[in-house]
Each structure stands twice: as C-alpha cells, then as structure tokens.
Chain A
Amino acid sequence: MRSIWRTLDRGLARDIALVCLADGVVGLSYGAISVGGGLPLWVPILLSIVVFAGASQFLFVGIVAAGGSPIAAMVAGLLVNTRHIPFGLAVSDVIGRGWKRWPGSHVMTDENVAFAMGQDELERQRAAYWAGGIGIFVCWNIGVVIGGLAGSVITDTDVFGLDAAFPAVLMALVLPSLRDRRTRTAALVGVVIALVATPFLPAGLPVLLALLGLLCYRSDKPAVEEATR
C-alpha cells in the first residue's frame, strides 16, 4: 500500500481527494433520501457496504420506497451495473493479480476507472485506481451513515448542483483520452446511440449500447504512427 502513496503526486492526490469528498456528500443525500422515504436505516447502509454502486443503490431504494418489489429493484440495479463487465476487462491489469482481485473488484466505480484510464503508466494507473477506490468506499459509507442518521434534513442535493458536478467530474477525467481522434469518433457515436436509446430502454442499457460505437474504431493504423506521435 505504501508504494501507492509514493506514486501519487500531489496534484493527482488532491483530485482524488476532491472526488472522494464529493462522493461523500452524495452518499449523505442517498442516506437521507432512503430514511426520509420510510426505509429503516440498515437498508441504505447495508446496500452501501455490500453493493457499493451509487446509481444502482439510488434506483433500489427509490423503487422499494415507492412500494415496488425488492425483486424488481434488484433486477433494475443489476441492469445498471452491467457496465462493470467491460470496465473490469479494461482495468484488469490495473487491479493486479491474486487476492487483490477480490477487494480490487469490489471498489470498482466509474470514478476510479476513469482516474486510472487517465494515467499513462501502469504504476500510476494502479495508484490512482486503488487510492480512488478505497477513498471513495470510505467516504461514501461515512456519508451514507451520517445522511441516514440526519434523516430527512437533506433530501435534495440538486439544490447544491451536485447532480451537475458528477458528469463534470467524469468529463474532466475522460477528456484527455478523447484527444485521440479515433477514440473520440467511437465515443461520440456511442453517445448518440445512448441518448437516442434512453427514452425507450430501461436504465443502464443505453450506456451499454454505446459500446456499438466501437464498430467505428479503427485500430489498424501502423504502430509506427503511434510511436512518432
């Protein structure tokens, strides 16, 4: 673990800390919304520890608090989390081998995957992934407990604009990767597909469908060109 902190430079460490803090605040609202919606405190807390995937947790408590079946909530949550399969394939080397795959997989989030993809050396990718994952896990869960205990005091973090902060965080993290023209084309085609599909498909599927944008990715350029860039 110590090598992780040594590899992180101050700028990167500060960025990661900021995302952890923001996640903690969203966790606060999630805990408050759940308890405010009539669920016992242990439900949001248990979900945060064993599921640890924000979007699917919001969806789960939303459906159950509205009187929906926990089974329907579970199916919806799983659907939203299917994007973790391609994420796992992409960051497998970053997570490492052996026992590390277990905790490493559990702390996989959109944010730390994006942080890792934004670094160019494996060592730095590892440091960013692990520091981000562990930091977010800790902050998110602390936030959820505090929010749940605070009950219905803070139920709407939209007032603070946090719903806009999240896409902005991810955008800032992926922008450097989009400088590559071929990646950008694939991503833009994916965006169009996802947006067009959103009104018609259940949550989670449109984003997955964006992978069709990869069909527009040409990876057959000679390696020489990459090297001289």
Chain B
Amino acid sequence: MNFEMTDDRRMLADSLSKLLGDRYGIEHRNAVAYEAPFHDKTGWNALAELGILYAFAPEDAGGMGGSGFDLLAVFEQLGAALCPEPLLGAVMAAPLLTEAKEDLEPLLSGEAIYALAVDEPEAPWDAGGGTCEGGDTLTGRKTAIYGANAATHFLVSARREGKLALYEVKAEDAAVTPWGMIDGGGAGELMLDGTPARCLIPDAGEAIDAALDRGRLALCAEAVGAMDWCYATTLDYLKSRKQFGREIGSFQALQHRMVEMKTAIEQARSITILAADRMDAHTTAMAKSLVGRTARKVSEEAIQLHGGIGMTWEYPLSHYAKRLVMLDAQLGDADFHTARVAASYA
C-alpha cells in the first residue's frame, strides 16, 4: 500500500499552493469572494495557465488526469487557500463533455467557464426530480448554479421524451440571475423560457449522477484542505492566547477538544481518499456525508475555541468557518447522503 501522492500530483499541488498564496491572500480573496462577479478573471487565467483544469480530464479527452486523486491534489489546495473561483463547474462538466464527445479544449484552457444546472427549487440536490422540459429549446427554472455569474456555458438537465437529457445553453442566450453566497463566491439561477439550447446527451441520467459525484468528491477534498487550515490556526491560537496567566492551550478541556477535532479531520481525510480511489456512488455518498458532518463540527469548534475573535470578519478563520458549513449544503448535505447510504441496505 502507498498513500504517497505521485510526483506529478505533488508538483501540481505545490505550484498551485504557491500561486494561490501569491494571488489569493485573504484580503484579495475576500474582495473577490464577496463582490460581483465573485470571480477574478486574471486569477482564473493564471490558474488555467498553470494547467489546473487539465487535471480534471483524462488524457484521451485531451486532459492530463481526471482520476479521483487528481481532484484531491487540486481541491485540497483550493480549500486551504479558500479560493472562491468557480472550478467546481469544470470538474463536473469535464466528464459530461467527454461523454458527449465535445471538444474539451475551451474548458481545459480556461477560455470557456462551465456551470452545471440541475437543481430546481422544489428538488434540491436531486437531478432526477426536476421538471425542466426540453425539445429544441428549454423551458423551466434551474437554481443553485455555482459560478453562474462567471459562466460562459451552462450544462442543463431537462426531460426529453421521458428521459433525462443534457443540454448546453450559452450564457448570452439565457436569463441569468446571479447572487453572492454568504460564504463567498457566486451562484445564480436560470429562467428558461423557450431558450435556445443544444442537446448534448439524450439519455444522460447516469452521466449526470456520475458528474455530480465527482463534484462531491472535489468538495470533500476542499473541505479537508480548509479543515487542516482551521485546525492549524486554532492550535496556533491556543499556544499564543493567554488568559488566567497562562496559554489557554494548557487547559486540558481544550486540549481534548483539539485532539477530537484532529481525529475527526483524519477520519474525513481517510474516507475522502477511499472515495477518490473507488469513484463510486456509494463511497462518495459516505464521504460527502461524513465530511459534511465533520466540516460543521470543525468550524463550530474552531470559532468557539477562539472566543470573540473567531466571530469577526477581520479574522480569516470566520470565512473558512462559513465556507465549511455551507459546503455541506452544496450538492447534498450530510442527511441527504446518509439517506443514500442507508437506502443501499434495503
């Protein structure tokens, strides 16, 4: 057994970490994350130039990766730096475009920004529950589309002849309502009303589910990176903050809390590694559920152990904490995925 990352992935992760450190310092990150369009075009271009997007697709589709471990290598770094760029859309779009035998080069080079539109207000996280209708055009409403403002292309699920089909809609043809998210980054809705669309895959149910699971794996890795950061920062704080004439880290009650936090993070990391290896629906559901639960716990603990300072906008931890909690609500929360796992027992 070998849990080491390959040299290629380690190099990619290292240069990504360096780029994020240079370009997405917390002040700039916050300015980008909380102000429309919630995306920094030059930062995006730099990420693309580094070849990050090529890690999302296999070699025979023009990429240089596409495995679960490639996603891990990239998203842990994005999480550790709290990068708000809409890379999740590319992760989910890459396998769908591959399946549709589309040209991936615009996505991989960063020139086209893709966002996946499957959620509807009444059926969050449920690709099959939507009511959007497709023929030559699309009619319906899609919501919780991450990266909607930056997107140049949307991949939209819709019913067509009784099957779930996948369409491409160009941003310029669609009515997009964008908004900012409380944890930074942007999302939005599509109001489709006879909107011009191109059917890419007529029977896309399985492909969409698989793409969503890739997105979920990426989110797990992002959470692991962000949790590592929170843990390290909280530990530093416990070593430096003095109350009652000593470091608060010297109180055993707090030491035990840190040890529990670390154990929980290692559990989350472990199931994420397993999901990256297997890349199947069942393990991904387990990972997303366990990671979602842990992410909430870690963010709540990190704030609490910081006392008042952890509650402030100025202190970076508060933004990591928000991201970790809201990440649970993306692409299915812990309960949604626990139910998926439980359903397999019947």
Q: Is chain B found bound to chain A in the same assembly?
A: no
Which B positions have Cβ atoms within 8 angstroms of A?
Answer: none
State the A residues within 8 Å of B (CB).
Answer: none
